[in-house]
Structures are given as C-alpha cells and as structure tokens.
Amino acid sequence: MPEPSNQKLLVISFDDRLKAQEFLLATVRLQKDQDLQVHDAVFVQRDADGTSHVTETTDVTPGRGALGGGVWGLLLGTLFGGPIGGVIVGAATAGGGALYAKLVDTGIKDATVAQLRTAVPPGRTGLALLVSHVSVADLQRELARFPGADLVESDLPPAAIAAVREALAEANRTPFTDAAAPPPVSPPADL
C-alpha cells in the first residue's frame, strides 16, 4: 500500500519512557488543534545493556489478526454451518487474519523499526512518529518543554530538521519549570 509522499518520519529519544509517552500525548494535542497529523507512533526502548523493546500503536500483529479473524469466522461459521462449520470456518479465517497481519504493514515500516532498534542509544526511549501537515512552530514549542530529548533520525526537510534541533538545544540550555513558558523560537514556514 503506497504511502502519501507528504508523510515524514521524526524520531526523538528521551532519557525516560514517561517523557516519551508525554511527548506522544503532546503530539495528540497538536493533532487535535490541527497543527500536525500523526499517522503512526512506535516506541523503541533500549535497556542499558543494548536490548530493545518495541511497542507499535497501529500495526496489526499476526496474533491479533488471527484472533479477530477467528472470532468472526467462528460466529459466521456457526450461524451458517452449525458447530462443525463454526470450527472449520473459524480456523480458516484465523489463518487468513494472521496472514493479512503479516503481509500488510501500515504506518512505520517494520524494516525502519528494525533499524531504530540500534539507532536509539542504550538507556533511552525513542519515539518514532510518522507525521504530515506539520506546523514547525508548534512542534518546536512542544519540543522546547523536553530537556534531555535528542533527534535520532528524520526525513523532514532540512529547514525543519534545523528548527527541531534548535528547539531541542534550547530545551537543554534553559531548563524551566512547568509554570514557566517555553522560550520563543522563530521557526521556518509550516510544512
């Protein structure tokens, strides 16, 4: 399934998983305000020893696909073929659901997630966001609230990457409390 060309990948690492989750919530608020569109989010947590754990938000896993397909097949098979039909159709649709989940990769591609397992530094949690319609100014304001965050990878335009790096550098230079407002930043035009 081809992705629209305006979707871009943004990967930010945080020193704490809760900060990564908080930033995801901030992006949901930005989406609600129509300042960006989030298509997928993936957490990549690397332990200090380098092992990684991935939590995807939109991809259907083969297990979930099999469960969903199996339940629907069991219901429909039982309705039209009785108990034996339910078992046969349920098993067939469970296999179909698992195959569907294995073949269809929505959101951030599995190959990209595999690369992020090593790109995120040990001891940190990376949040990979597939976004479009980004208001760089609003994204900068949110990023300025997260000291210790680092840009890991992005395919945003160079001016937007520079603006993101500037916001992260500002957050690391000027720690502020929740009561203080983030420092003003002059961003490039919206994407």
Counts for the chain of helices (H) and strands (E), in that order? 5, 5
Report which of residues 15 and 183 the model is more confident about: 15
According to the model, what pLDDT value does residue 39 have? 87
User: What's the pTM value of the predicted model, to 2 decimals?
Assistant: 0.65
Top pLDDT among 177 and 49 is at: 49
Pairing state between β 52-56 and 150-154 = unpaired
pLDDT in tens, 64-98: 555 555 555 555 556 566 666 555 655 656 555 55
pLDDT surpassing 60 at residue 141: yes
- For residue 10, pLDDT over 70 is answered with yes
Residue spans per domain, the chain: 8-59+122-173, 60-104
**Tokens describing residue 153:** 């990878």
pLDDT band, residue 2 (cuts 50/70/90): very low
35-61: pLDDT as tens digits: 888 888 899 999 999 899 988 876 444
pLDDT of residue 15: 92
Q: Give the model confidence (pLDDT) of 101-118 as tens digits.
A: 544 445 788 888 888 899
Whose CA is closest to 62, among 113, 96, 15, 106? 96
